[in-house]
Amino acid sequence: QVQLVESGGGSVQSGGSLRLSCAASGYAYSRYCMGWFRQAPGKEREGVAAIDSDGSTRYADSVKGRFTISQEKAKNTLYLQMNSLKPEDTAMYYCAASAGRNWYALGPRGGPHPASFGHWGQGTQVTVSS
């Protein structure tokens, strides 16, 4: 059974940094894509960043140069380093794993498309104040 557990969210001021972690278990982590998504109240879930089994990454246009996705395969752990945070980054952040595939579609804003990911964590809240 796939299990994804996020941690590291919190409240920071504009310009601050946070590092999110996602501990994965229950499947062959190294074989599939992993992604970070976020959803603000009243808005659709959007892809923030993704990494495939070869380590190639993609980012939404809004976070390029500020966020970095990485992973430690030996620990089955995914990370999202978020720097220069802005109030518009405030959202619930979710970790996700692709449903048995090593590819994913892109969303309209350049990040991964949620439909390509079949396993989701419960989310961790990130709040950025101005």
Per residue in 22-50, pLDDT (tens digit) is 999 987 777 789 999 999 999 999 999 99
Q: Give yes or no for residue 96 having a pLDDT over 80.
A: yes
DSSP, collapsed to helix, strand or coil, labels residue 39 as strand
Cα distance between residue 129 and residue 26, in whole Å: 36
Per residue in 6-19, pLDDT (tens digit) is 999 999 999 999 99
| Token pair of 30 as six digits | 């190294």
Per residue in 106-129, pLDDT (tens digit) is 999 999 999 999 999 999 999 999
- Note the pLDDT of residue 1: 85
Cα distance between residue 119 and residue 31, in whole Å: 14
Contact (CB, 8 A) for 66 and 88: no
Report the phi/psi class of residue 73: left, alpha or beta, with left for phi > 0 and alpha for psi in -120 to 50.
Answer: alpha
Question: Among 79-88, 96-105, 121-130, whose mean pLDDT is lowest?
Answer: 96-105
Cα distance between residue 72 and residue 65, in whole Å: 21
Per residue in 48-77, pLDDT (tens digit) is 999 998 899 999 999 999 999 999 989 999
- Note the pLDDT of residue 27: 79
Q: Among 29, 98, 107, which Cα is nearest to 63's?
A: 107
- Looking at the DSSP bridge assignments, the partners of residue 23 are 5, 77
